Amino acid sequence: MSREIISKLLPQQLLTAIIEEPNFVQLIQEVSPAILSKLINHIGLEDAGEILELATTEQLRQIFDEDLWKTDQSSSEETFDADRFALWLTIMLEISPEFAITRIMEMDEDLVTLGLTAHIRVLTFNTVALYLGDVEDVKEADMIKKAMVNGQSLVLGEFLVLSTGTKFWHAITMLLAELDYNHHHFLVTLFSRIVSIAEDCIEDSGDLYPVLSGAETLAVDAGAERDERREQQGFVPRVSALQFLQLAVITPIQEIKDPTSQDPITRMHFRTYKAETDTFPHSAHSDGTSSTIGEREKKLQCFQKWLQAEGVLPYPERHQLSSQKQTRRKDSLFVRAIRALFIENREIYDQCRVELQYLANVLIAVNDGAKSKSRPIGAVQKVITVCSEGIEASLSKENVEDDCQIKQAEKLIVSLGAIRLFQIGWHYRHNVNEIKISN
């Protein structure tokens, strides 16, 4: 984006300006899913069809993992938002039925089944006949007849589809009809799963319509698959984050300091986590050295800065570790030791940065249920504070020169790592009456 920003554009003006860019397709398909998600939300999902049409499968998969799950304020747990799923479906159908079908078939089967189960009931005609012939209990028969009379039903092959009263009925029936015509086998498989969920619920409750309770297992499975995908990107599930902090409180200090053991939450996270590749891969010279930033990266960086200027993205937040300026006296011993390691032992420094990112994600995940969610910079600052407390709790109390304290702190970081130092600090925060055991 080369033009100078004078005043922030309205969302529709912003969309027009992006579409008019010569590199529009490349910019959309190469920007990170997180940035693309913020751009779509800023413009409004209903108006972002031109952008959605260009998004890659992987971009949409990550956006769905973020956008379709909302925090339940009453329980602080993340739940699937079926209406949001149906809205996405509606927008994709407006782009074209072919586009919507392609994207639906690329989604996880559990997610699609979960999304549709909230809006429709699917019955085989054998099941319908049983209900219509039941003279003792006519409740279910009346529900079926009413749905059919009111145009809230659809017959597809051997299946009867009933609306649950959803406002997205038209969009859903359009999708189902297109699937039946072009991908009948896929639709039959999908309907068979929905029928199975409904029948399990009917057997348990004797009622046709409380199917959502029968979909609880499906919701758990879809949520688990989503958590696994997000963990591979570095996110920490809220349940895991809570368990990690609780373990830090109840685990004895000497066990935390034991380098031969590691808490199961951290061990599982780093077993699952896969570091993402750089968004902008560098080209290489014939001698194998990295070249200067390419034109592609410059354009993407320029695009991101333009979105920041337009208020779509926040400006980068700086924290205590990002600056290598001269150490200030107010900086903690932990921060000064990390800076020293940046010069003296870059491998340990890089490992520490990865651990600090994990710890920040733990605190962000724990606070997801709060009305005011943690900002990344706030989480990083709290992590650094707790790690600093872990350093202070572990250092000897002898009066030594400042440089010697920094060296001692460096040794602790090398031997224990940021995660164990955080656990030590967190432990003492919640066991204030416990006598601190120094090295």
Please write down the HEC assignment for all residues of 144-198.
HHHHHHCCCEEEECCEEEEECCCCCHHHHHHHHHHHHHHCHHHHHHHHHHHHHHH
Tell whether 221 and 324 lie within a shared domain. Answer: no
Give kind and range of the element (H or E) at residue 30.
helix 24-30
Please check whether residue 294 lies inside any domain of the structure. Answer: no
Please check whether residue 365 lies inside any domain of the structure. Answer: yes
Tell whether 221 and 101 lie within a shared domain. Answer: yes
The domain boundary residue, chosen from 206, 225, 244: 225
**Is pLDDT at 323 greater than 80 in this prediction?**
no
> Six-digit token pair at 202?
């009917």
Distance CA 72, CA 80 (A): 10
The reported pLDDT for the residue numbered 321 is 55
Tell whether 339 and 202 lie within a shared domain. Answer: no
The reported pLDDT for the residue numbered 141 is 77
Work out the average pLDDT over 266-281. 61
**Is pLDDT at 291 greater than 60 in this prediction?**
no
The domain boundary residue, chosen from 198, 225, 252: 225
Which of the four pLDDT bands, split at 50, 70 and 90, describes residue 131? confident
Work out the average pLDDT over 299-318. 79
The reported pLDDT for the residue numbered 374 is 53
Q: How many CB atoms lie within 10 A of CB 322?
A: 10
Distance CA 12, CA 5 (A): 16
* Digit-coded pLDDT (tens) for 205-228: 444 444 445 567 788 778 878 888
Tell whether 86 and 220 lie within a shared domain. Answer: yes
**Is pLDDT at 387 greater than 90 in this prediction?**
yes
| 79: helix, strand or coil | strand
Work out the average pLDDT over 397-401. 56
- Least trusted range by pLDDT, from 27-41, 70-84, 283-297: 283-297
Please check whether residue 375 lies inside any domain of the structure. Answer: yes
Work out the average pLDDT over 141-154. 83
Work out the average pLDDT over 64-80. 78
Tell whether 203 and 348 lie within a shared domain. Answer: no
Higher-scoring residue by pLDDT: 208, 42: 42
Q: How many CB atoms lie within 10 A of CB 274?
A: 10
Q: How many CB atoms lie within 10 A of CB 39?
A: 22
Tell whether 209 and 323 lie within a shared domain. Answer: no
Tell whether 91 and 209 lie within a shared domain. Answer: yes
Residues contacting 186, CB < 8 A, separation 6+: 105, 179
The answer to whether 273 and 234 have CB atoms below 8 angstroms apart is yes
Residues contacting 101, CB < 8 A, separation 6+: 175, 178, 179, 182, 183
Tell whether 209 and 103 lie within a shared domain. Answer: yes
The domain boundary residue, chosen from 205, 225, 245: 225
Which of the four pLDDT bands, split at 50, 70 and 90, describes residue 317? low
Bridge pairing between strands 159-163 and 120-124: antiparallel
Please check whether residue 287 lies inside any domain of the structure. Answer: no
- Least trusted range by pLDDT, from 112-121, 307-316, 412-421: 307-316
Higher-scoring residue by pLDDT: 386, 145: 386
**Is pLDDT at 326 greater than 80 in this prediction?**
no
- Least trusted range by pLDDT, from 69-83, 149-163, 412-426: 69-83
Higher-scoring residue by pLDDT: 66, 317: 66
Please check whether residue 41 lies inside any domain of the structure. Answer: no
* Digit-coded pLDDT (tens) for 330-380: 688 899 999 999 999 999 999 999 999 999 999 988 876 554 455 677 888
Tell whether 199 and 333 lie within a shared domain. Answer: no
Tell whether 327 and 193 lie within a shared domain. Answer: no
Work out the average pLDDT over 192-209. 63
Task: Please list the residues that pair with 120 across neighbouring strands.
Answer: 163
> Six-digit token pair at 254?
């000497």
Work out the average pLDDT over 64-74. 80
Which of the four pLDDT bands, split at 50, 70 and 90, describes residue 6? very low
Higher-scoring residue by pLDDT: 421, 229: 421
Three-state SS annotation for 351-397? HHHHHHHHHHHHHHHHHHHCCCCCCHHHHHHHHHHHHHHHHHHHCCC
The reported pLDDT for the residue numbered 287 is 40
Work out the average pLDDT over 302-327. 68
Q: What does the chain come to in residues?
A: 439
In the chain, % of residues over pLDDT 90: 42
Higher-scoring residue by pLDDT: 183, 3: 183
| 291: helix, strand or coil | coil
Q: Closest Cα to residue 14, out of 42, 36, 50?
A: 42
Where does 206-321 have alpha helices with state H? 211-214, 216-231, 238-250, 253-257, 264-272, 295-309
User: Per-residue b/e over 135-153, b at no fewer than 16 CB within 10 Å?
Assistant: eeeeebbebbeebeeeebb
Question: What's the domain range around 92?
Answer: 68-225
Please check whether residue 110 lies inside any domain of the structure. Answer: yes
Tell whether 214 and 341 lie within a shared domain. Answer: no
Higher-scoring residue by pLDDT: 259, 324: 259
Angle at 229 between CA 224 and CA 230, to 5 degrees: 95
Sign of CA dihedral 425, 426, 427, 428: positive
Which range scores top for mean pLDDT: 60-69, 323-332, 374-383?
60-69
Q: What pTM, to 2 d.p., does this model score?
A: 0.70
Distance CA 21, CA 109 (A): 36
Please check whether residue 119 lies inside any domain of the structure. Answer: yes
**Could you give the number of structural domains in the chain?**
2
- Least trusted range by pLDDT, from 8-17, 69-78, 284-293, 337-346: 284-293
Please check whether residue 74 lies inside any domain of the structure. Answer: yes
Distance CA 1, CA 44 (A): 21
Tell whether 209 and 329 lie within a shared domain. Answer: no
